[in-house]
Chains A and B, each alone.
Chain A
């Protein structure tokens, strides 16, 4: 699983990354986490609100920081 955290480094982006890592370890899922901080790169995902979360190329979160529980649901079923 490939996970990208989109955001220029604001507090929300850091919180999102931290919670994603927590959710992953709670689920025992291994994934590579990348940070996308350049605005030009963020724009290529077509989102207008940060932070964003991309799982295997699909935008699953934009503009808010979900709770760890919500992130667990999202990670388990990112394609629904």
Chain B
């Protein structure tokens, strides 16, 4: 009888567990059509609000600006929610430990390519940059390969990709990802070739972390869905205000700034605009989500794609706060080399695109 009871209890526990898994997957399956319906009806909804509800006349500056704002804010936030959720789930299958293990013993160029690609999917936040750096160095991963990871991880992130996809289209988003990868691979490779190891603080090489194998957590589908949702709360909760503000400014630019206004400052004939954009971009990190909509608006006013791309890459990929954090483990010469090499890479991308388009 007792055994029977236990068996039955286990059975109930298992079904309960399965039920809640089904519930969470069910929730996702339920929300997806709602999401798609909302996304597809945004254009009509905006038309209804702007023209019928607010009865604003067509082809006026204010109407253009209001339409842009009412249409783009929910669109970008919807895209952001979905992508951050999906990426959040994908990232539960990756970890810095697995990435480190994959990179151990890889030769220079191959290692740079792998580190840059893994930098996109491995969970990373700039507050973990130092522990990750120490962990990589400890495992004997060369400096150049570690840098490829540290360059790609923040530069190619889901917020930037969503904004570029939503506001510029998939071609620009893809270009950004490809150029980001190329910059991360080559910059890391150059840093590795220059043998700059002596500019890492000495104490870094003295750390002996016990090689405790931290048990890989066993995550259920439910846990992964929870983590995806956590990522949505964290990321969207943090950046939504910048997106709203950025799109508001962008809307103003769309409606009121005259055509070709930016041609003299950010146009392709002003060669100096590329290096200047990179320099201005470095201290502007926290507003990345707000800057992309403004840049998108400027693109319609005579700014060239190469200059805009260089500016955004610099804003997102080269951040002053991250450099200050890295100062704890790197000497100033190496930080300068890192910023200089990545900065030059971004400029080259800017010049090439200005020449092509």
- Do the two chains belong together in a single complex? yes
Query: If A39-B131, A40-B203, A64-B230 touch, does A46 touch B123 (CB 8 Å cutoff)?
Result: no
* B128 in contact with A43 (CB, 8 Å): no
* A39 in contact with B209 (CB, 8 Å): no
Query: If A40-B207, A42-B131, A43-B135 touch, does A48 touch B97 (CB 8 Å cutoff)?
Result: yes
Is B130 in contact with chain A by the CB < 8 A criterion?
yes
Q: What mask results when residues 218 to 234 of chain B are scored 1 for a CB within 8 Å of chain A, else 0?
A: 00000000010010000
> How far is B132's CA from A12's CA once the two chains are assembled, in angstroms?
16
* B230 in contact with A47 (CB, 8 Å): no
* A49 in contact with B207 (CB, 8 Å): no
> How far is B328's CA from A42's CA once the two chains are assembled, in angstroms?
14
* B131 in contact with A50 (CB, 8 Å): yes
Contact residues in A for B194 (Cβ distance below 8 Å):
none
Is B4 in contact with chain A by the CB < 8 A criterion?
no
> How far is B138's CA from A47's CA once the two chains are assembled, in angstroms?
11
**Cross-interface CB contact of A10 among B127, B138, B209, B227, cutoff 8 Å:** B127
> How far is B329's CA from A43's CA once the two chains are assembled, in angstroms?
12
Is B268 in contact with chain A by the CB < 8 A criterion?
no
CB proximity to B under 8 Å, residues A33-69:
39-40, 42-50, 59, 62-64
Is B134 in contact with chain A by the CB < 8 A criterion?
yes
Is B211 in contact with chain A by the CB < 8 A criterion?
yes
**Identity of the chain B residue whose Cβ is nearest the Cβ of A13 in the assembled complex:** B127
Contact residues in A for B329 (Cβ distance below 8 Å):
39
A-B contacts, 15 listed (Cβ < 8 Å): A39-B131, A39-B134, A39-B329, A42-B131, A43-B207, A44-B207, A44-B210, A46-B135, A46-B214, A48-B97, A48-B131, A48-B136, A49-B95, A49-B128, A62-B214
